[in-house]
Amino acid sequence: MRSLVKKSGVARALAFVFACLLPVTNLSPAFAEDPMLPENNFEYNQASQVLAEDRTVDYSAMRADLAERAQALSDSIQTAQQLNLDVPMAEVKKTQQSAIAHQKAFNDAAAANQSDKARSEYRLARSTFALAYGMSMPSRAVEGRCIWLDRGTIVGTKDAKGMADLFNTLEQCHFNVVYFEYNNGGYAMCDSDLLTKYPTLAAGYDPLASALQEARKRGMEFHIWLRVFAVGNRGLNPMLGKPSDYPGPVLEKNKDWALRAANGSVFPPQADKETWISPANEPGCEFIKSFILEVARKDIDGIQLDYIRFPFQKVGTEVGYDKASRASFEKETGLSLGNLDDKTRRAWQAWKTSKVSKFVQNISLTLKRTKPNLVVSAAVYAFRRELRLSIIQQDWEPWTQSGWIDTLNPMTYDESLDVFIADSKFVKRSTGSSCFVYPSIPYFRIDDGVGVIDRIDEARKLGALGTTGFATAQLDVEKIKYLKLGPNRKPAIMSPHSLPVRGTQLMFDEFAACIYKCSGGTCKPVLATQAEDSQILVQIEEVRQALMQVNDNSKVSDLEAVMPKIEELQKSINKWLSLESMVNRSLRVVYLNNSLNDVKAVLTYAIQRAKLKEQLSPTPSQDTSN
């Protein structure tokens, strides 16, 4: 639902001030520094929303927004009814009527120029339409329902009981993938042979072990979320009794590893909160690799790479002047940073980009050789490629195309839904089906549950098979309500990335059930003959049988043999349903096509993963085991 109320002049000014106070460099998953009580966070957001509203009410924009939401809900109900989808239809319609009543009250207040009443009824209508819409969305059996569990919230649990209570909340929302923040500022959230344990954790408390235990009890995937090159956090120093220029325990012991600015500072000029290990420093990178492999030995499901880039830079604020980086660049390129002209600057950016990508390749393939089913993901920026390479040297397109990264979690944090759609679409288009894309839902910038429903809906329309909530610290009671009653009302059986062939089978079974409902009675396709109906059912069974013959350990050739059968089925179904628009059933055609496209996407990923496994497996001549 893209026709949202435009910001007033006051709201735009407040947004600009907020942007100045919160630089883009901080908008990483690890931005969520401190736990906030859900109730207090919700009240704060509501108060902020009221303060940000201009006193001049744009009735026409509000009216258009409600009209669009009403139509979208009507379409969703119609699709669910035509396909007999498993949604609580009675509750959906009851909530729809409540939303319509608030919409009428808004229109009446607007006509009478009762601005306070109009605002109140608009907010009620908007939120109730969104709730009804969320309830009308199918609760998918295969979906990545991810959330970042941030440092502040982890520390705030205090003990094993606190962690259990937190996971009870996550379970109520039916999250199935948890990204646990493992390190921040160079400190680890558990005992480590390589990193210092976070100082303010309660004595004897191992939050990682507690969180892992709670995740296992509930069948949730547990992934380790890592700050890769950022190994110091100036923001933690006051809380830990350290001076403001303390670089963190890693660089305190290993000063030669530090990435430095032109003036020698370890705090980058444009992003002076963190300290970094230079991606060109080989001993430093080996240290990072070692602590990643250390935690990967635990009973975890995945590793997520965050801060897998250089810090933000622009002309005049570049970093990489430390001895190791400079010497390596000048030796490998024959250029000198003493003469930083445009040619040298472009070469420097490309060189730095290659160092980051080399590290991703190295750690990913090492992990996949050690634990073939471990999922490797990355939290990345959704900036267009040319800008991204220029300012942070993060080139995730080849990472996904090469199979090094299984899922991308783009940090789609803009408060505008249109920007969320554009950024998510860009990342999805840039990766194709080479990996899964789970766009981020910025809980810290969304006032209520409406933005959560809007973003899950738009992500699904784009073909994303999951989303990522940022972060647990801002998961308030309102967002919990919309998730529990809406698209997360039932637990997902699995995520698509965990066992993609099994996921393909489950998703195809859901698709086939919809087709069976379309093949008879009043839902029968327009002018379709009995022979055409029978042929579709024969093809459905052929695909089902082909899928039953493969699993997540099958050979690439066996998996590839299934795809042509699915593509042929899709052609037949489009022909079969070609006249549906004549009876106002075109929406179900779109739904069915999207569902089958999702099936193909998961199978395509399964094929790519199988290819990489075959490449990494030792050949008989290499295998010296008895």
What percent of the chain stands above pLDDT 70?
A: 87
Going by pLDDT thresholds of 50, 70 and 90, the confidence category of residue 52 is very low
pLDDT at 581 (0 to 100): 63
pLDDT at 28 (0 to 100): 52
Cα 591–chain centre separation: 23
φ, ψ (nearest 5 deg) of residue 464: -75, 135
Cβ contacts of 504 within 8 Å, gap of 6 or more:
547, 599, 602, 603, 606
Domain stops at, among 477, 497, 517: 497
Q: Are residues 377 and 400 in the same domain?
A: yes
Domain stops at, among 80, 113, 136: 136
Residues 587-617: tens digit of each pLDDT: 888 899 999 999 999 999 999 999 999 999 8
Statement: residue 166 has pLDDT above 80: yes
Going by pLDDT thresholds of 50, 70 and 90, the confidence category of residue 582 is low
Q: Which residue has the higher pLDDT, 30 or 130?
A: 130
> Does residue 172 fall inside a structural domain?
yes
Q: Are residues 241 and 356 in the same domain?
A: yes
For the chain, the domain total comes to 3
Mean pLDDT of 536-547: 95
For 289, the token pair is 């690799």
pTM over 0.85: yes
Q: Are residues 427 and 466 in the same domain?
A: yes
Statement: residue 618 has pLDDT above 80: no
Residues 426-440: tens digit of each pLDDT: 999 999 889 999 999
Put residue 248 in one of left, alpha, beta given phi > 0 → left and psi -120 to 50 → alpha. Answer: left
Amino acid at 294: E
What percent of the chain stands above pLDDT 90?
A: 80
> Does residue 413 fall inside a structural domain?
yes
Q: Environment class of residue 319 by beta-carbon count within 10 Å: exposed (0-12), middle (13-18) or buried (19+)?
A: buried
Statement: residue 8 has pLDDT above 50: no
Q: Which residue has the higher pLDDT, 433 or 100?
A: 100
Mean pLDDT of 296-310: 98
Q: Are residues 436 and 573 in the same domain?
A: no
Give the structural domain span for 68: 9-136
> Does residue 434 fall inside a structural domain?
yes
